[in-house]
């Protein structure tokens, strides 16, 4: 179905873009190969530079010819510090160990504030599991048609082809306020916990609380969707596989060229209602000035900082933080005294990291506290 519609859309675009096509038509020597003879990986075309232009566009000929000398070559130690990716075959995966139970404790302390209990997700943060991953992987072929409203479940256990990406991402990017702060053992423990709540097996074994994950066992993790992506990008031939795939039009079309009357039957169109779109040729520019500030209305110190750095948690009660405007919640917070509130905000408390994970100065944090307190009376 998609392929037929794709050609129908392509036909429409080609008719609508006749003028643009005419501009490119004079470049008959357009090439679909790089200068090294390799096929263009995205299936597109490259145009030679003529009169400081490539096709209809001007180019920086100095950049095209090279010759820049900015910067320097990185040192061996710099490359080593940057080369921290973890590959599916175990390249870059360090030694370490951690149990499911240890991962559960670390998760509760450092992860649950955003990903919620048992990795269920919420408030804009992704779920880490949706039940049994083997069953969930089958949902990836679901289509919301014929009354079926259950779409594909795309979470770690059901969708990701390799567990190595999880280890690498946790190590380098989590927890959000303090990336690179976890030890290798802590990462192994967290991965063990996440694998367990997805009900995945390792080498045929279910993971109980005492299960200890190490490097050897990690490399035996087989994800349900390991063969769910095309083309194959892993291994030394990954790039060439991609190049070959995208240069074979049969992989994303039926192989028969069609410029008109390509679709049999009447297309089913789902029109967007209430969008306010009535003209697909809007004016080139539209004035969008900010409303003028009211005279004599000075903005409370800390408001802008709050909106930029703190509203994500304090705008609602979804994150467990006292929301701005909730008199009862802030009255309870202030029972300990404003100095204690300052102290907790600056040094962190419970699920809230120091300064909310920002690098704001102490006086800026106090301004934000004063604003939130004032707006909640």
Position 18 scores a pLDDT of 40
pLDDT grade, residue 150 (50/70/90)? confident
Burial of 306 (0-12, 13-18, 19+ CB in 10 A): buried
- Which whole number is the average pLDDT over 150-174? 95
Q: Which domain holds residue 57?
A: 2-65
Task: Give pLDDT, residue 77.
Answer: 92
**Residue 25 confidence (pLDDT):** 44
Residue 324 domain-assigned? yes
Does 122 share its domain with 27?
A: no
Which pLDDT score, from 0 to 100, does residue 6 have?
39
Looking at the structure, tell me whether residues 139 and 32 fall in a common domain. no
46 and 138 together in one domain: no
pLDDT in the model for residue 320 = 77
pTM of the prediction?
Answer: 0.57
- Whether residue 265 lies inside any domain: the answer is no
- Which of 218, 250, 276 terminates a domain? The answer is 218
Per-residue pLDDT band for 33 (boundaries 50, 70, 90) equals confident
- Residue of higher predicted confidence among 45 and 251: 251
Which range has highest mean pLDDT (39-43, 92-96, 281-285, 305-309)? 92-96
For residue 144, pLDDT over 50 is answered with yes
pLDDT for 13:
36
Q: Alpha helices, DSSP H only, in the chain?
A: 2-16, 18-25, 61-65, 76-82, 100-110, 112-115, 133-137, 156-159, 164-173, 184-197, 215-218, 238-246, 303-309, 311-314, 327-334, 338-347, 362-374
264 domain residue, yes or no:
no
- For residue 375, pLDDT over 60 is answered with yes
Q: Are 350 and 109 in contact (CB under 8 A)?
A: no
Asked whether residue 259 is domain-assigned, the answer is: no
Q: What is the share, in percent, of the chain residues with pLDDT greater than 70?
A: 80
- Tally of structural domains, the chain: 3
- Rounded mean pLDDT, 71-82: 88
Determine, yes or no, domain membership for 272.
Answer: no
Residue that is last in its domain, among 191, 218, 245: 218
Residue 202 β-bridge partners = 205, 221
Beta strands 205-206; 201-202: pairing state: antiparallel
Residues 99 and 134 in one domain: yes
Residue-level pLDDT at 286:
64
126 plus 56 within the same structural domain: no
pLDDT of 275 higher than 70:
no
For residue 94, what is the DSSP state?
A: P
Here the CATH number for the domain that contains residue 181 is 1.10.760.10
Greater confidence (20 vs 118) lies with: 118
The residue-averaged pLDDT of 339-365 equals: 86
User: Are 95 and 161 in the same domain?
Assistant: yes
Q: Point out the domain boundary residue: 179, 194, 218.
A: 218
The stretch 178-200 carries a mean pLDDT of 96
Is there a single domain that holds both residue 109 and residue 8?
no
Give the pair of three-digit tokens for residue 365.
């944090």
Residue 287 falls inside a structural domain: no
What does 51-85 look like in DSSP terms, one character per residue?
Answer: TTEETTEE--HHHHH-----S-PPPHHHHHHH---
Is 249 inside any structural domain? no
Same domain, 88 and 203: yes
pLDDT (average), residues 189-194? 98
Are both 213 and 88 inside the same structural domain? yes
Judge if 131 and 18 occupy the same domain: no
| Average pLDDT score, the chain | 81
Q: What is the mean pLDDT of residues 105-115?
A: 93
In a domain, 6, yes or no: yes
Q: Check residue 108 and give its pLDDT.
A: 93
């Amino acid at each position: 179905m998609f392929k037929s519609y794709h050609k129908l859309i392509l036909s429409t675009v080609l008719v609508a873009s006749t003028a643009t096509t005419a501009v490119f038509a004079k470049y008959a020597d357009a090439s679909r190969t790089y200068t090294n003879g390799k096929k263009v990986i995205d299936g597109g075309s490259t145009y030679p530079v003529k009169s400081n232009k490539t096709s209809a566009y001007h180019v920086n000929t100095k950049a095209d010819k090279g010759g820049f000398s900015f910067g320097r070559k990185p040192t061996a130690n710099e490359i080593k510090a940057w080369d921290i990716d973890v590959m599916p075959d175990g390249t870059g995966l360090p030694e370490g160990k951690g149990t499911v139970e240890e991962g559960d404790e670390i998760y509760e302390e450092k992860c649950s504030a955003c990903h919620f209990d048992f990795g269920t997700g919420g408030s804009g943060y992704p779920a880490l599991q949706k039940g049994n991953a083997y069953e969930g992987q089958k949902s990836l072929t679901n289509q919301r048609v014929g009354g079926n409203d259950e779409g594909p479940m795309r979470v770690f256990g059901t969708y990701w082809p390799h567990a190595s990406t999880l280890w690498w991402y946790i190590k380098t990017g989590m927890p959000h306020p303090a990336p690179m702060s976890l030890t290798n053992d802590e990462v192994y423990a967290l991965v063990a916990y996440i694998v367990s709540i997805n009900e995945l097996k390792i080498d045929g074994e279910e993971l109980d609380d005492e299960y200890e994950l190490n490097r050897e066992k990690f490399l035996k993790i087989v994800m349900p969707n390991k063969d769910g992506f095309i083309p194959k990008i892993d291994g030394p031939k990954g790039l060439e596989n991609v190049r070959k795939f995208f240069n074979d039009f049969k992989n994303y079309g039926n192989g028969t060229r069609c410029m008109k009357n390509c679709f049999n039957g009447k297309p089913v169109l789902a029109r967007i209602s209430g969008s306010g779109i009535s003209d697909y040729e809007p004016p080139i520019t539209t004035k969008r000035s900010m409303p003028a500030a009211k005279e004599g209305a000075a903005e409370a110190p800390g408001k802008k900082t709050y909106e930029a750095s703190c509203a994500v948690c304090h705008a609602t009660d979804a994150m467990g933080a006292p929301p701005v405007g909730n008199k009862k919640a802030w009255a309870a917070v202030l029972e300990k005294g404003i100095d204690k509130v300052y102290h907790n905000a600056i040094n962190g408390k419970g699920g809230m990291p120091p300064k909310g994970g920002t690098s704001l100065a102490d006086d800026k944090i106090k301004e934000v506290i004063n604003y939130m307190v004032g707006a909640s009376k």
